Amino acid sequence: MLKYTISIFLFLSCSTIVAQLGKSAQDTATYKDRYGLRVGIDVVRPIFSLFSEETQGFEIVGDYRITKRLYLATELGYRDQTTQEDFFNFSTKGQYIKVGVDYNAYKNWLGMENMIVVGLRYGFSTFNQSVNEYAINADPFVPVRTEPNGMTYDGLTAHWAELVLGLKVEVLHNVFLGVSFRGNTLISATKVENFKNLYVPGFERVFVNNNGFSFNYTVSYLIPLYRK
């Protein structure tokens, strides 16, 4: 009797272990991470363009997942920006591209794909600057006189680095809303006589010490390619 009891106990134990292994394998297969290409647009610039003729442009964004937390990322776009300074008015037109990596600092629950983004970018832009008008005020007792200029500087280029901090949240299936803030540092730019590059497409406004700040607000769609 004891022999049969031990045999039955061993059989049930083995069956339980096999079932648990099978369930674990099934669970592992169920929660494989998705890898794919996410593409979208920055929605801020088109909205600005509707309300201001001085700001026109667009930006396309994308990223591709290469490891559990690391993504290749890029942005490319176009800007047509008119800027008013104290004593002159100028326009900037050009295109740009940024390439780099994003790291997801957020540990998702199973099935979630949200991101706390920490990233780096290299940016490059080709553009032109046009001085529309400038003010003359040589005599403090004479009112400021504005004169047209029309001088254009073509074939300008700029290189810069960006530190990216942001969020991406899945709001619908495969649809993500994202926001990012960028601290920019100009590496080099074409220098022209009698005019400083105060605005660079993609970099945005150039402040003291060649530093700058920019942001975007994006809507993107994930195209799943495989699971891993």
The rounded Cα 84 to chain-centroid distance in angstroms is: 27
Mean per-residue pLDDT of the chain: 84
The rounded Cα 147 to chain-centroid distance in angstroms is: 39
What pLDDT does 136 receive? Answer: 65
What percent of the chain lies above the pLDDT cut of 90?
Answer: 59
Q: Is 156 exposed, middle or buried (0-12, 13-18, 19+ CB in 10 A)?
A: buried
Q: Which two tokens stand for residue 147?
A: 């004169």
Please determine, for residue 203, whether its predicted confidence score (pLDDT) is greater than 60.
Answer: yes
Name the β-bridge partners of 212: 184
Mean pLDDT of 108-113: 87
pTM beyond 0.75: yes
Q: Which two tokens stand for residue 90?
A: 């100028």
Please determine, for residue 23, whether its predicted confidence score (pLDDT) is greater than 70.
Answer: no
Please determine, for residue 163, whether its predicted confidence score (pLDDT) is greater than 50.
Answer: yes
Name the β-bridge partners of 116: 167
What pLDDT does 152 receive? Answer: 86
Please determine, for residue 41, whether its predicted confidence score (pLDDT) is greater than 80.
Answer: yes
